[in-house]
Amino acid sequence: MTLDRRHFIGTLSATAAVAALPGCAATAPGAGGMAHPLLIGKARQVLLARGKAPRVVVCGGGWGGLTAAANLRQLAPRAEVVVIDRNPVFFSSPLSNMWLVDMVDGEHLTHDYLRAADKLGWRFFQAEVRQIDRDRRQVVTSLGTLDYDWLVLAPGIRYNYEAWFGNDRQAADAARTRFPSAYASNAEHLAIKRALHAFKGGEWVMNLPPPPQRCPPSPYERACLIAWHFKTHKIKGHITILDHKPAIAPIGLGYKLAFEELYKDYVTYVPNAHVREVDPFNRRVRTAAGDHAFDHAILMAPHQAGDLAWLAGTVGQDTSGWADVDPVTMQVKGDARSFVIGDAIAAVSPLPFRYYPKSAHIANRLGRIVAYQIAEHLAGRAPERRLPDNLCYMVVNGTPREALNVQFDYGFDEQGRIAQKQLDFNERTPALYREDFRWANFMFGEMFGSAAPEVTPKA
Ligand SMILES: Cc1cc2nc3c(=O)[nH]c(=O)nc-3n(C[C@H](O)[C@H](O)[C@H](O)COP(=O)(O)OP(=O)(O)OC[C@H]3O[C@@H](n4cnc5c(N)ncnc54)[C@H](O)[C@@H]3O)c2cc1C
């Protein structure tokens, strides 16, 4: 199978269009054209004085936030776009499982915010967002306050360790620091890599939390690549996957065949393994499907919307820890000037799938959709309804390099509900592996413009 043409062309044209932006060669001051005021200071000082241009503040410079910023500069060039992220650089979770086992260089997954801001014409501040006052339209950061006309929140996810440990902070900290999962925090990827490379053999446990979780197929990809690493380096290790779900999903057959055909002696898959108790001190997990002792583990606490969604008061009483938005416009309910995009959003449909997959591809598409909507509002036009699509490549083998793929399309059914079509590509192929890199390069091109270094596979 080849990369879906519609998706591919859509991504290609958007990337080319961003690269061709008249404003893209501009320097970081962007549309407002103002000099930077003093940056060091107290949270209550004004971080950036207002100019005449309408201002869009994007909180969270991950996949959704950076796509929204790039597309806003293209679609609404007179708007001032400000991106705030707590991290000094961007590190990509997509492709990071390959980095764990040295199939790709870390520098290819790391991107420079300042260079991208300079190339694409948005402003960047490395700061912690501490408060969001939607009535006053003001964001309070560790560097100062920012007023806005439009707010885009792209906060990603956070772990809900309380579901496992209640108020026991010591146990939560032990689980997080000794056996991190690197799903909510990029800093944890290095800890997993170091643990893997120091691992001399024994039992390695990984759990999947209850849905919805960030990037559902990627823990299985990680298991395959760690098993490949054990096999290649002749490490007597064994991986047990404790899955909350009753079966592998998505791409269930493809993964099942990979586990059976490639990693029979290395991987055991356990379904319905609802976590009952985690003991990070004695290295044990008790589940509905049995108890498991481990030498090392990747312990993944349940996921919920990132802190920013909570700070902004967007998480509803009945949205199970996710941001309550209009499922088509992504506007926060009751606030037409604020949007939440990416992994943080609540269910979008009453149909059984309920949630969009929490993926970088969906975050990118929602970033585009929200940029389009703000641009249309600024132009005094009513935006049309647009829906995302999704596409994920998952690498399952290193010798030879092979990957699987899953695609999702969305449309409205006759009752106006968002409906999902899913297509699994269960046959692992080298072509899908190569397409993973093409996908990543198009995405990075859209988010970082010509500031993006090309990601290439290592031999
Ligand atoms: C191992 C792994 C593999 C994956 N593989 C794929 C894949 O192959 N394909 C795919 O499509 N998806 C993949 N994903 C999922 C993808 O990474 C996420 O879906 C995507 O990052 C979601 O984008 P987002 O914008 O919602 O959140 P993020 O990209 O997490 O961005 C959120 C940003 O907000 C910032 N932030 C949060 N709070 C604050 C604050 N208070 N102040 C300042 N900044 C703040 C964070 O620093 C972060 O940069 C993978 C994920 C993992 C963990």
Q: How confident is the model at residue 457 (pLDDT cuts 50, 70, 90)?
A: confident
Which of 343, 358, 446 best tests ligand 1's pocket when mutated (most atoms within 8 Å of CB)? 343
With a 6 Å cutoff on the Cβ, whether 237 touches ligand 1 is no
Instruction: Enumerate domains of the chain plus CATH numbers.
Output: 13-156+306-385 (3.50.50.60), 167-302 (3.50.50.60)
With a 6 Å cutoff on the Cβ, whether 360 touches ligand 1 is yes
With a 6 Å cutoff on the Cβ, whether 92 touches ligand 1 is no
Please report, as a single letter, which amino acid is at residue 125: F
Question: How confident is the model over 17-52, as pLDDT tens digits?
Answer: 333 322 222 223 333 333 344 444 456 799 999 999
DSSP tag of 24: G
From the alpha carbon of 63, which atom of ligand 1 is closest?
Answer: 25
DSSP tag of 442: H
7, 15 Cβ separation under 8 angstroms: no
Task: Classify strands 335-340 and 150-153 as parallel, antiparallel or unpaired.
Answer: parallel
Instruction: Over range 52-62, report the average pLDDT.
Output: 98
With a 6 Å cutoff on the Cβ, whether 84 touches ligand 1 is yes
CA distance 233 to 256: 23
State pTM to two decimals.
0.91
356, 320 Cβ separation under 8 angstroms: no
Task: Give, using CA atoms, the residue closest to atom 11 of ligand 1.
Answer: 360
With a 6 Å cutoff on the Cβ, whether 308 touches ligand 1 is yes
With a 6 Å cutoff on the Cβ, whether 306 touches ligand 1 is yes
Task: Give, using CA atoms, the residue closest to atom 52 of ligand 1.
Answer: 93
Dmax (CA) of the chain: 65
The per-residue pLDDT for 43 is 60
Lowest mean pLDDT among 28-37, 251-260, 309-318, 325-334: 28-37
Q: How confident is the model at residue 9 (pLDDT cuts 50, 70, 90)?
A: very low
Task: Give, using CA atoms, the residue closest to atom 15 of ligand 1.
Answer: 359
